[in-house]
């Protein structure tokens, strides 16, 4: 199995981290080592690189899985029409169950900056931004930028924007608002950032993991990138795995890997798995059907889940009803407070799920939760309300037997007290000082 060092062509050293059930760890890379291993190659013809990105089929790693080449082409077209353009590396990791972006920014800052430089070259940007909320990552990127400033490497001016961490701060329009000095809150769309973003200019907003794959595509071409993964989901991705009674871990995996192989890698028996949160909180929960899937966008969507940001939280000893209630309570606390449908809808769903967890809900409460999970979808300015409806809908669709035991007060898992967590399956960074 290839890890992110080998896939990028810029191995730092030490054991292949993706082969051990722990967080990927390494000393933060330095410019001299990154360049010696082949980093910051001359950018070359931007149209040729864009064509290789098209051939690679590289999909965004921030959650939506949108093709990077389409984003690049849209902003490049604006540049060719004479417009100024901006590139923004989005490292504000809102999902508590994900750690990949923080790890990349802390440990592989030059890999991310190299990808940002290449993206800027394709779209003709004269301004670039790294947007994040983790102070340790900000220090690492700042140190890398200091090295880059005196290196002679051609790159647009790159600024660092640090914001407070919230679930909504990583949404692309929230990132644009924050970079311009406003609150890190989503705004109505259209226009989208690729149409009018930072300073009113067409702006490429791309997740830092997505950008971290660009140096590999640049060095080895689109076909080289496709050597791993599947036809529809090419390449590798970073997977944050939590739960199952094991320490949280970060792996680089090829798309298409059977979910059971990830369990084996992580040291968890399939027999103990009741289900999982897939793609972070946003995609909701799946039951034991997850044991039969491969890790790619289409197979996870087919069972009602999603690959999303690559976070998988294993539900083993926890009650799925209690997990869903905790996720819905989180969405209720974290909504931006800007849309009435989201403000009221997340609160109502969280209250209904909390009552179900505590054994005080009625059949009518469950019916209302089911209705809200349908009629509230798509009503908010960002994805928070959709994430909440996903949590409610997947609970009711996949865990009906568990819902029934809570209506009768006979859930054996919750007999000694239900699972409660303000940030379910939260993963904390583990980086040496």
> What pTM was estimated for this model as a whole?
0.91
Tell me which residue of 51, 56, 117 sits closest to 87, measured CA to CA. 117
pLDDT category, 9, cuts 50, 70, 90?
very low
> Angle, to 10 degrees, between the axis of helix 109-123 and the axis of helix 100-107?
100
| 211-244: pLDDT as tens digits | 999 999 999 999 999 999 999 999 999 999 999 9
pLDDT category, 7, cuts 50, 70, 90?
very low
**Three-class HEC string of 290-354:** HHHCECCHHHHHHCCCCCCCCEEEEECCCCHHHHHHHHHHHHHHHCCCCCHHHHHHHHHHHHHHH
Bridge partners of residue 242, in order along the sequence? 313
pLDDT category, 12, cuts 50, 70, 90?
very low
Q: Report phi then psi at 35, rounded to 5.
A: -70, -40
The pLDDT, as a whole number, for residue 382 is 83
Query: Which strand (E) or helix (H) includes residue 148?
Result: helix 135-149
The tokens 């979808």 sit on which residue?
A: 377
Q: Which two tokens stand for residue 141?
A: 């990127």
* Stretch 127-133: mean pLDDT: 97
pLDDT category, 27, cuts 50, 70, 90?
low
Q: Residue 103 in contact with residue 57, Cβ under 8 Å?
A: no
pLDDT category, 86, cuts 50, 70, 90?
very high
The pLDDT, as a whole number, for residue 26 is 55
Bridge partners of residue 236, in order along the sequence? 254
């Amino acid at each position: 199995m290839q890890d992110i060092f080998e896939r990028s062509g810029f191995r730092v050293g030490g054991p292949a981290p993706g082969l051990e059930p722990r967080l990927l760890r390494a000393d933060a890379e330095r410019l001299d080592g990154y360049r010696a291993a082949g980093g910051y190659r001359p950018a070359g013809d931007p149209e040729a690189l864009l064509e290789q990105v098209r051939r690679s089929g590289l999909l965004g790693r921030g959650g939506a899985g949108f093709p990077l080449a389409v984003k690049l082409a849209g902003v490049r077209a604006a540049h060719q029409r004479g417009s100024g353009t901006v590139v923004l590396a989005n490292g504000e990791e809102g999902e508590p169950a994900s750690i990949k972006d923080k790890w990349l920014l802390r440990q592989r800052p030059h890999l991310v900056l190299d990808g940002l430089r290449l993206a800027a070259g394709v779209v003709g940007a004269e301004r670039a931004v790294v947007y994040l909320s983790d102070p340790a990552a900000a220090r690492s990127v700042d140190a890398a930028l200091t090295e880059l400033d005196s290196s002679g490497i051609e790159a647009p001016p790159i600024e660092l924007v640090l914001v407070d961490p919230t679930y909504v701060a990583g949404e692309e329009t929230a990132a644009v608002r924050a970079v311009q000095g406003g609150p890190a809150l989503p705004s109505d769309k259209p226009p989208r950032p690729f149409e009018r973003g930072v300073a009113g200019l067409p702006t490429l907003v791309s997740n830092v993991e997505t950008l971290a794959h660009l140096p590999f595509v640049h060095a080895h071409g689109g076909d080289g990138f496709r050597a791993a993964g599947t036809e529809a989901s090419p390449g590798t991705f970073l997977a944050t795995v939590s739960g199952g009674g094991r320490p949280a871990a970060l792996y680089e995996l090829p798309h298409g890997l059977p979910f059971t192989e990830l369990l084996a890698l992580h040291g968890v028996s399939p027999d103990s798995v009741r289900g999982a949160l897939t793609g972070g909180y946003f995609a909701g929960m799946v039951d034991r059907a997850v044991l039969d899937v491969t890790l790619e966008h289409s197979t996870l969507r087919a069972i009602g889940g999603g690959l999303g940001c690559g976070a998988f939280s294993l539900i083993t000893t926890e009650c799925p009803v209690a997990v869903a209630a905790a996720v819905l309570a989180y969405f209720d606390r974290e909504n931006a407070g800007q849309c009435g449908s989201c403000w009221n809808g997340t609160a109502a769903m969280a209250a209904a799920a909390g009552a179900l967890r505590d054994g005080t809900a009625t059949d009518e409460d469950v019916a209302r939760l089911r209705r809200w999970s349908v009629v509230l979808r798509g009503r908010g300015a960002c994805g928070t309300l959709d994430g909440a409806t996903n949590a409610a809908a997947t609970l009711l669709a996949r865990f009906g037997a568990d819902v029934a035991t809570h209506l009768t007060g006979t859930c054996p898992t919750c007999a000694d007290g239900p699972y409660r967590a303000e940030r379910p399956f939260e993963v904390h960074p583990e980086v040496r000082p």
